[in-house]
Every structure is written in structure tokens, then in C-alpha cells.
């Protein structure tokens, strides 16, 4: 080995590099790091570090799902007993009842156009509603019925049915309450039977739909000692209702066939005494 090579081998820079390698080797032994291998993902190590975070996230997801399931109030648009075609016309809304209070005058209250003593005007409004009870169902709609209906005698594409809500609105009780006790010249026997039918039908309809909206009460008068004597109800509270305009537009389409005069109108047959 010549003198130049000996100088290079024993140069201070070379000695320093050897020392650096020696230090790196000691670090390798101290930290147990394999310098010749790339870092690898170890599942056990990962989950042990993030396990608490994952548990908290899982609990948060479950809690959120429970909150939404409790607050959600799904409302079924159409029931099995109703026609499928009505579903697209059913919308729910909150509506405040405009009801006359019998215990106190209501200043500024606008009466409903259906209220009051029978007049040609409000009689026509009631008739426009109750006429909608007769609906011309299609063959497909008739096939949905749990009990078969008749086929129109002069049109085999029409199957007449009665839409219950408009039958419930039958204004017989209203007219009798105002003294029109025999609007259709019915026999006394049939008049009583028809009235009883309307009352019982309305009772069952109200219980069927079961509106459970709570109506608050308030005291109206007190005696000289401040003890309440009478009370009334705050009837003007929101109820959850089906939108009547949308239902009416659907019923009007089904009733159009009966405006042509080709089909008989629904008229109860009066019995004899």
C-alpha cells in the first residue's frame, strides 16, 4: 500500500464516518429498529392506540340514531282500506279549527260560510261537498275493494262507490237542528231511521280517526270569593289534518261522470209507514 492510500484510509473524514456508522448501529440496538426494512402497518398496534376513539364514535352514532328514531313521527299517507289513487292527493298539515264558542262572544271572529241558519247560499256549499260522496271508480280501483261494488248500468268502465268523508258530511243533522225536519218529504219512520243512521255513522267515523289533540280550558266567571264558576275551552288549537283542497280536487275528478246525467244519482229509497 503506497503512502497516498494510507493517507486516505486514515483521513479524519473517514474516521468520522466510521464513528457515525458505529453510533447508528448503537441506536439500532437501543431502539430495535430494523434499518433495512420499511415501516409496516400492525393491526394490533393501530387498534390499541385508536380503540378509545372508535368506541366513542360508535356510542355517538348509536345515540344520534336513537334521537332521530324518537323524534321521527312517520305518518302513513294512505291506509289499506283506501284507494291507491288517493295517495298522491293526500297531504298532512296543521290547521286551527275555527269553532264558535258557546260560552263567550268572540270579537272579530269571521263565521264559517257553512255556519248559521240554512240559506240558499250555505245550502249550496253543503251540497257541493256532499255531492262528492259518489265517486266513479275504475275497474282497477274497484279491484282493490274488500267488498265488490256494482257496475254502472250503462257504462261498464265505471264502478260507483261512496267516499266516506263526504258521506260523513251529510248535512241532515244540521238541517234538522234548524227546524227542517223533513227535507225530502220522507215518512216519519224513514226520517227517524235515517237520522239514527247519520248519528251512528258520524260517531263511528269520529272514533275511527281518533283525534287526540288536547284542548286547553280556561275559567270564564268567578264568584265573589274568586272561586271559578264556569269554564270554556280554547278550541282554536292546531290539529293535524289532511289537506281538504287536495282531497276535494281528487274527489271532483271521480265525480265528473255523475254530472253528465248518464248515471243515476245516489238517493236513499224512503220506506213507508
pLDDT at 206: 92
Q: Tens of pLDDT along 35-62? A: 454 445 555 565 566 667 777 777 777 7
Please choose, from the candidates 118, 141, 91, the residue with its C-alpha nearest in 3D space to the C-alpha of residue 242.
91
Q: Note the pTM of the prediction, 2 decimals.
A: 0.63
Check residue 70 and give its pLDDT: 46
**Spans of the chain below 50 pLDDT:** 3-8, 11, 13-14, 16-23, 25-33, 35, 37-39, 70-74, 267-273
Identify the pLDDT of residue 151.
85
pLDDT at 231: 86
What pLDDT does residue 30 have?
Answer: 45
Task: Please give the pLDDT value at position 28.
Answer: 47
Whole-Å CA distances, 53 to 58, 60, 61, 65: 9, 11, 12, 19
Write down the pLDDT at residue 118.
87
**pLDDT tens per residue, range 218-242:** 888 899 999 998 888 888 889 999 9
Query: Residue 215, CB half-sphere, CA atoms under 13 Å: how many?
Result: 13
DSSP assignment string, the chain = --HHHHHHHT-HHHHHHHHHHHHHHHHHHHHT--TTS-----HHHHHHHHHHHHHHHHHHHHHHHHHHHHH-----SS-TTS-GGGGGG--EEEEE-----SSS--TTPPPPTT-SS--HHHHHHHHHHHGGGEEEE-HHHHTT-SS--PPPTT-TT-EEEE-HHHHHT-THHHHHHTT---TT---HHHHHHHHHHHHHHHHHHHHHH-------EEEEEE-TTS-EEEEEE----EEEEE-HHHHHHHHHHHHGGGGSSSS----PPPPP-
pLDDT at 110: 78
Q: What is the pLDDT of residue 182?
A: 58
Residue 225: which residues within 8 A CB-CB, separation 6 or more? none
Distance between CA atoms of residues 181 and 198, nearest Å: 14
pLDDT at 195: 84
Amino acid at each position: 500500500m503506497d503512502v497516498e492510500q494510507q493517507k486516505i484510509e486514515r483521513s479524519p473524514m473517514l474516521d468520522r464516518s466510521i464513528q457515525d456508522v458505529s453510533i447508528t448501529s448503537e441506536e439500532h440496538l437501543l431502539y430495535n429498529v430494523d434499518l433495512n426494512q420499511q415501516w409496516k402497518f400492525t393491526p394490533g398496534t393501530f387498534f390499541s392506540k385508536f380503540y378509545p376513539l372508535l368506541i366513542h364514535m360508535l356510542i355517538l352514532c348509536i345515540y344520534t340514531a336513537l334521537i332521530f328514531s324518537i323524534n321521527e313521527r312517520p305518518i302513513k299517507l294512505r291506509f289499506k282500506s283506501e284507494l291507491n289513487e288517493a295517495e298522491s292527493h293526500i297531504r298532512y298539515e296543521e290547521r286551527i279549527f275555527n269553532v264558535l264558542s258557546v260560552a263567550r262572544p268572540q270579537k272579530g271572529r269571521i263565521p264559517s260560510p257553512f255556519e248559521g241558519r240554512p240559506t240558499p247560499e250555505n245550502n249550496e256549499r253543503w251540497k257541493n261537498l256532499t255531492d262528492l260522496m259518489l265517486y266513479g271508480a275504475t275497474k282497477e280501483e274497484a279491484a282493490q275493494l274488500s267488498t265488490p261494488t256494482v257496475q254502472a248500468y250503462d257504462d261498464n268502465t265505471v264502478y260507483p262507490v261512496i267516499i266516506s268523508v263526504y258521506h260523513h258530511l251529510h248535512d241532515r243533522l244540521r238541517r234538522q237542528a234548524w227546524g227542517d225536519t223533513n227535507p225530502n218529504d220522507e215518512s216519519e219512520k224513514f226520517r227517524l231511521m235515517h237520522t239514527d243512521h247519520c248519528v251512528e255513522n258520524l260517531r263511528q267515523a269520529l272514533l275511527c280517526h281518533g283525534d287526540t289533540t288536547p284542548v286547553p280550558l280556561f275559567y270564564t266567571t268567578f264568584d265573589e270569593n274568586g272561586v271559578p264558576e264556569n269554564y270554556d275551552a280554547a278550541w282554536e288549537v292546531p290539529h293535524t289534518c289532511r289537506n281538504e283542497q287536495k282531497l276535494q280536487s281528487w274527489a271532483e275528478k271521480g265525480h265528473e261522470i255523475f254530472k253528465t246525467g248518464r248515471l243515476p244519482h245516489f238517493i236513499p229509497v224512503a220506506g213507508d209507514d
